[in-house]
Amino acid sequence: MRFLLGCLGFYLICCASILQAALTIKSGVLMVGVVPGSAPLLYLENNEYAGLEADYARLIANELKLELEFVKFNKNELINAIESNKVDLIMNGLNVTPSLSHKIHFLPTYLHSSQMAIIMYDNIIRLSGRGQLYRGDKNIGVIRYSTGEKLVEQEIADGTIKKYSNVEQAFAALRNNEIHYLIHDAPTSWQLARDLNAKDLQSLYKPLTKDELAFAVNKNNPLLIQKIGRLFRNWSKQGIIEMMNRRWIKAKMLVN
């Protein structure tokens, strides 16, 4: 009898190991692909990953009883990393879009976001009024190939559009009065709220779109999809997602 119980125990341990190996690329490890730099979502602080998404990654790994390994990529490498099974999960303030949904599986939305306008703080009175952005006599900055670029070209096309390679270039253009507005993802506005060196810049915090942010996994890993999806649904019911989001995103609407 003891022999049979011992065999059964060994069998169950083997089955658990096989399931865990099938769950992730590296047995016992959750490999998460990231592009650090987008505070407060995910950034490096004292050589450690910090931010809202980093906290979610740690929580997921802990609940699944896995070790956590962050794997750094460039932004243009991230989708390929999940498609080619280099990592189990990717996070980088990903907008849920139909085009990406054909390639990767988005997990339940963890945060609602939007495109927002950023101006110079000294221009709050002049540029924050309703309709100012759409009057057609303003220079509007966007980041090339971004959601903001598409929005401005389709809906705010009357203004003069100026395109930049990155946010730093666009901020410099604002400070040099080359543009009146920068239209970009909400995380950029949230980052401004925490940046003591950017007090001369001001987000209007007026949502120009309705975006959903989510993490993504490979479409061919139904077990991981099921397990992490269940976690997020439970966390949503328990209020954990709202609590975590509020901890990291403290920006308030300052202008009506």
What domains does the chain contain, in order, with CATH numbers?
7-112+212-248 (3.40.190.10), 115-203 (3.40.190.10)
- At 249, list the tokens: 């995103």
Query: Rg of the chain's alpha carbons, rounded to an integer?
Result: 22
pLDDT averaged over consecutive 10-residue blocks of the chain (256 residues)? 45 44 87 89 93 97 98 93 96 89 95 94 92 92 92 87 95 97 93 87 93 95 97 97 90 43
Cβ–Cβ under 8 Å, residues 27 and 64? no
pLDDT digits (tens, 9 = 90+) for 128-145: 987 899 988 999 999 998
User: Which pLDDT belongs to residue 16?
Assistant: 45
Q: What is the pLDDT of residue 12?
A: 41
* Predicted pLDDT of residue 251: 57
| Residue of 184, 164, 187 lying closest to 172 (CA atoms) | 164
